[in-house]
Chains A and B, each alone.
Chain A
Amino acid sequence: MIKVANLSKHFGDNVVLRQIDLDIKEGETTVIIGPSGTGKSTLLRCLNFLEHPTSATITIDDLVVDANSATKKQITALRKKTAFVFQNYALFANKTALENITEGLITVRGKSAVIAKQEAQAILKSIGLADKQDYYPSALSGGQQQRIGIARAMAAQSKVILFDEPTSALDPEWVGEVLGLMRQLAKQKQTMLIVTHEMQFAKEIADRVIFMDQGQIIEQGSADMIFNNPQDPRTRTFLQRVNQ
């Protein structure tokens, strides 16, 4: 469903991503792991064009975007198909929880305010935050903010939700509720691409695990394969270090 071919990203002379190829199937949960500074987040940001890839062909359904000839219209179309969940939540500070969700529905997808509100309320209810709809982000806990962030992504009904270390900025006490919501999404067969350092969670939720190092995909396979029987020495070294 989603096909990434030959994705590279250079920052000046610094090559952050080298010729990444990636296929994601519908309904699949893919988790990317690897050492810090390896380009995992940059890869995610390139898929949403928050970073403009130096080269890449990204295909989602019938939309084909080539990084070298991408028009604004194509980029917007791509962003509509790829929702993003940020490490620091990045909720709109001047909007309430409810408005954070309806904003994109109204401005981007052209839904009426009434319909957008109904949809947003249904989602808030499903994640147990119905009573917080009129709160501003600053009045919510980190865990609640991130769940609203995920709700915003869910509402967009994108093809895939990209999670950029969704629990890294959270106090430990809030990690559970965010991971819980992501499990719920995995059960509903929402296609997800997740960058995370939560290895236990990765093991449990991933249909497929990708190990990246130094801007490249080193190996990928089922969670069982990567965690219990890694082939590449770099994967082994990394897993040993995180399991210590």
Chain B
Amino acid sequence: MQMALIGVVFALILAIGLAVVRTFKVPVLNQLAMLFISFFRGTPLLVQLFLLYYGLPRVFPILINMDAFTASVIGLTLHFAAYKAESIRAAIMAVDKSQMEAALSTGMTSSQAMRRIILPQAARIATPSLMNYFIDMIKSTSLAFTLGVTEIMAKTQMEASSSFYFFESYLAVALIYWGVVLIFTQLQVHLERYLNKAY
């Protein structure tokens, strides 16, 4: 849970950065962003986590002290930032072109226009798909147990194998995930209502 919450914040920040770089086609950074997005969308999260936690420290010994929790957060962040960047970019493009022109015509710089006019409107458009990724992210935290993080999935497995209540244990963990996601779905409804109220 904590993993998902930290991850979602960093992923969002990174994704907005990537989306803006892609929208303005900033030279060099744009190509790097495309490569980044292509790689993290093109490979399984599990592979990315293993690569990050077991693979990279072999090449860069400085990473050897990275604990499994940190590695999981970083992996989830990078993976979901790639997805979110594309849906934010789509949302930015969905904002009418005249909004940018109107902002520029008053003498705003493009970054002022982005911050004050375009991104707030893109946020409303992007919210449903961003919430989707957030839910996906909550569930994907279960993969962290493959790195040895004793999160809820790991605890369940230990519980199940010592008590032999496999069905009950895994059903319980499924219900917990479901419940958490339901709570966030409710939050999403309220968030969308709030964003739509204004205009």
Interface residues of A (CB under 8 A from B): 48, 50, 72, 76, 79-80, 82-84, 86, 88, 90-95, 103-104, 107-109, 136-139, 152, 156
Contact = CB atoms under 8 A, between A and B. Distances in A.
Contacts of A107: 106, 108, 112, 116
A174 B112 CA distance: 32
30 contacts: A50-B101, A50-B104, A50-B105, A72-B109, A76-B109, A79-B105, A79-B107, A83-B106, A84-B102, A84-B105, A86-B102, A90-B98, A90-B99, A90-B102, A92-B102, A92-B103, A93-B96, A93-B121, A93-B199, A95-B117, A104-B107, A104-B108, A107-B106, A107-B108, A108-B106, A136-B199, A137-B199, A138-B199, A139-B199, A156-B107
Most buried by B among A80, A82, A94, A104: A94
Contacts of B105: 48, 50, 79, 82-84, 86
A77 to B, nearest CB: 8
B198 interface: yes
A156 B102 CA distance: 13
> Is the contact region of chain B dominated by helix, strand, or loop, or is it mixed?
helix
Contacts of B99: 90, 92-93
B102 A94 contact: no
Contacts of A95: 117
B117 A79 contact: no
Interface of B: 96, 98-99, 101-109, 112, 116-117, 120-121, 198-199
A91 B105 CA distance: 12
A101 B101 CA distance: 15
A147 to B, nearest CB: 15
B98 A94 contact: no
Contacts, number: 67
Contacts of A80: 107
A83 B112 CA distance: 17
Given A86-B98, A90-B99, A93-B99, A79 B199 contact: no
Contact of B120 (A50, A82, A94, A137): A94
Given A93-B96, A93-B199, 18 more contacts: A48-B105, A50-B101, A50-B105, A80-B107, A84-B102, A86-B101, A88-B98, A90-B96, A90-B99, A92-B103, A93-B121, A94-B117, A94-B198, A104-B107, A107-B106, A108-B106, A152-B106, A156-B106
A152 B108 CA distance: 14
A240 to B, nearest CB: 34
Contacts of A50: 101, 104-105
B115 to A, nearest CB: 9
A84 to B, nearest CB: 4
Contacts of A152: 106
Nearest to A81: B107
Nearest to B98: A90
A93 B96 CA distance: 10
B101 to A, nearest CB: 5
Contact of B108 (A82, A88, A93, A108): A108
Contacts of B198: 94, 136
A83 B106 CA distance: 6
A157 to B, nearest CB: 12
A9 to B, nearest CB: 16
